[in-house]
Structure 1
Amino acid sequence: MSYEFHVTAMLIVIFIAALAMFLLRRSNNRLSIRIGLISWIALSAYFFIETIIIRATTAPYSFLNQPMSDLGVTTCGTDTYVLASYAICSPYHWLMNWTFFLTGLAILIGAVLIYPLWPKVRSTKVASVFIGIFGVSYGISGIIPADIDFNWHTLSALPGMVVQIPAMILISIAIYRKLPRIFWWTIICTTITSAALFSLFLQPVFTSLPGGLLQRVLYASVYIWLTGTSIGLWSRKLSR
């Protein structure tokens, strides 16, 4: 299947998801919240899927040093994009790009549909927007692989490396009295993702730092936070 076919299919999914979110928010608040919570819990599947894709690569792939984007490169060989002077061959690149796309979409859906569960303050509204931007940024990585257009792939991914941190800080400020367990969970995950981002900034100086691992920690800490937070919100909601 061609790259153009995948992009068309992804755009159709976006349209259907947008329409579904609009209808759910208008007609059934309880169902929409539940779908939002499930969307964030489903993020834990990313780690299982990535493991399958890494095992299927036919060129050596370094989990510690290579970026996640290499798994979505659509061609095999060397110099597939600007910074890749090494060999890349990921037969399941289509699965990786769909995983990037659907992961970002799930984050965005959760940000929109779970919003009513947060305290009704300005900071949670801003935080939800930031989480939505995080999801959109991540999803575009699947629509535009690095070898198709490296500049757009990189530029679209940059917001998703940063916006989750102020989002998590704003959430923690809003919930520290009402949701103390989720507050401390948020603080722990914020600290981890912030440390990973800071370490990535240091990598040009300290070249021995494992860039691939740091990138995974940067994103995985957010996935785990969203999954754990949704479970905490669900148990609190159901216990009422």
Structure 2
Amino acid sequence: MIDVDGRTRLGAVLWVLVAQYFVLLFVVESRWEVPYSWLRNAISDLGAATCFQSAEVGRWVCSPWHVVSGVSWTLAGLCLAAGALLVRPLFPDVRTARAGLLLLVVTGLALAVVGLNPEDTRRALHIAGAVVAIPVGEVAMLLTGLALARTARWRLLGRIGAGGAIVAAVALALLVAQVGGPALFGMWERIAAFPVLLWAVVCGVALPARPAV
């Protein structure tokens, strides 16, 4: 087992801090007067800066604490990106790990773009960030999972990560294919987008205790 230095531990802590993303989703959702649906509503609706009638969900979108969402998503993205730069020593020194961590940097920066640009006021930048963050995050999760799966110590975790990435990719395909229509948009989006963030949190907690190298 190698000793984990301060920079590497900082990276792991940054990944664990991505968990605030999920906590604040519930906090912001709780401030809605119109019921918010995880099946229908887009994640981005929580960060909408104005109130508007959504054709996709057939109801008003109005998020009083939208600023909290924007800050949370931006922070999560920066923590993901910075953490990926620092936790390299926790992963095997193989191409899949190096490529996966690089893609996690890209994913984090794209998520920060999403947080800084609400869906209703700077839509083009918001969509661009989401279009990059979700599929790139899935590939990053797959590669880092495969890298860990090659080790005896973290074989099971790696397989779970790779499997989760595949599930997320299938959900993204169903989202793009509009399976279930608007009634299931929010569900597919969450299954596609959440796994990579959960993956970072789990790795940030688990790997420093027993690095894979």
Distance 2:150 2:125 in 1: 41
Report if the CA contact (8 A) 2:41-2:57 is conserved: no
Query: Please, what TM-score do these two structures have when normalized by structure 1?
Result: 0.78
Match of 1:17 in 2: none
Match of 2:188 in 1: 214
Q: Offset of 1:126 from its aligned partner?
A: 1.5
Structure 2: tracts of 5 or more residues without a match = none
Larger RCO: Structure 1 or Structure 2 (Cα < 8 Å, ≥ 6 residues apart)?
Answer: 2
Distance 1:146 1:208 in 2: 17
Please tell me whether residue 136 in structure 1 is matched to residue 109 in structure 2.
Answer: yes
Q: Offset of 1:230 from its aligned partner?
A: 2.1
Q: Offset of 1:77 from its aligned partner?
A: 3.3
Match of 1:38 in 2: 13
Match of 2:174 in 1: 199
Q: Offset of 1:61 from its aligned partner?
A: 2.3
1:91 to 39, 64, 69: 64
Report if the CA contact (8 A) 1:44-1:224 is conserved: yes
Please tell me whether residue 155 in structure 1 is matched to residue 125 in structure 2.
Answer: no
- Structure with greater helix share of residues: 1
Distance 1:73 1:169 in 2: 31
Match of 1:225 in 2: 199
Query: Please, what TM-score do these two structures have when normalized by structure 2?
Result: 0.87
Match of 1:6 in 2: none
- Relative to structure 2, which stretch is displaced further, 186-195 or 108-117? 186-195
Please tell me whether residue 121 in structure 1 is matched to residue 117 in structure 2.
Answer: no
- SS of 1:191's partner is helix
Q: Structure 1 residues 189, 145: closer, same or farther in 2, change over 3 A?
A: same
2:159 to 154, 161, 184: 184
Match of 1:52 in 2: 27
Distance 1:173 1:63 in 2: 30
Distance 2:80 2:173 in 1: 23
Q: Structure 1 residues 83, 210: closer, same or farther in 2, change over 3 A?
A: closer
What CA RMSD, in Å, does the superposition of the two structures yield over aligned residues? Answer: 2.3
Match of 1:167 in 2: 140
Letter in 2 for 1:219: A
Runs of 4+ in 1 over 6 A off after TM superposition: 82-85
Report if the CA contact (8 A) 1:64-1:212 is conserved: yes
Q: Offset of 1:221 from its aligned partner?
A: 1.4
Number of residues of Structure 1 aligned to a counterpart in Structure 2 = 208
Q: Structure 1 residues 98, 208: closer, same or farther in 2, change over 3 A?
A: closer
- SS of 1:210's partner is helix
Identity %: 26
Q: Offset of 1:85 from its aligned partner?
A: 6.8
Report if the CA contact (8 A) 1:119-1:175 is conserved: yes
Report if the CA contact (8 A) 1:59-1:90 is conserved: no
